[in-house]
Amino acid sequence: MTRIPLTRSCWLLTFLVACAAFSACASRGQSPASEVANEVLVTLHNYKAKTQFELASESHTSRVEYYSDEREDAARKIQTDEVMSAFLREIDKLGLGTFARTGKAPSTTNGDVIRWGLEVASSGGREVHWLVGTGSSAEEWKKFDQCRDSFLQLYNSTVSYQSVHNQGGKSYFDDRARAASGKKRE
């Protein structure tokens, strides 16, 4: 058997691939957003509209148990731990790691001062939040908008089969009947 000698560039390429693989497994361990998504709940607060949306990892919320129970709203959606890990790394890069503060985000605020909030709660009780409002800089708003857009893109592409408490039956989905009566969907 003839042995083919490896060139210097092949050795260098092999070394770089090994280093990249090793560094991909390393963790900075600085914020919940940089960790693997074990038991993670990310909440987007819209304080002006008084609404919130939640993305949870499967290790945080059992998909089967959660979707099986009837709820008042369908605000929480559940994603795989792998997808949530990638999402957390992305929003950390986009600005969460820079602007977040330790602790829970407030559940309510004056929507004229604080407009939006993003909260990450992870295993072990570690929580960080990021609030933006009238006093936030243009740079911070830009970075928050990127994180919010990333959140909403993942949220809207996440399928959920939540059973929602609905007294109106199928008329809940009839836009024509609601428009004729002048009522809005609540």
pLDDT at 45: 95
Residues 126/36, Cβ–Cβ less than 8 Å: no
For β-strands 114-122 and 126-133, DSSP reports them as antiparallel
Distances (CA, A) of 108 to 71, 102, 186: 21, 17, 19
* Lookup result for tokens 């609540």: 186
Q: For each of the chain's 186 residues, which pLDDT tens digit applies?
A: 454 454 444 333 344 334 333 333 333 334 444 455 679 999 999 999 999 999 999 999 888 888 888 777 789 999 999 999 999 999 999 999 999 999 999 888 776 789 999 999 998 788 999 999 999 999 999 999 999 999 999 999 998 877 776 676 666 566 655 555 555 544
DSSP state of 71: B
> What is the C-alpha to C-alpha distance for residues 81 and 38, in angstroms, rounded to an integer?
7
Kindly write down the DSSP assignment for every residue of 113-154, as one continuous string. TEEEEEEEEEGGGEEEEEEEETTS-HHHHHHHHHHHHHHHHH
DSSP state of 181: H
175 three-class SS: helix
Exposure class string for 129-152: b at 16+ Cβ within 10 A, else e: bbbbbeebeeebeebbeebbeebe
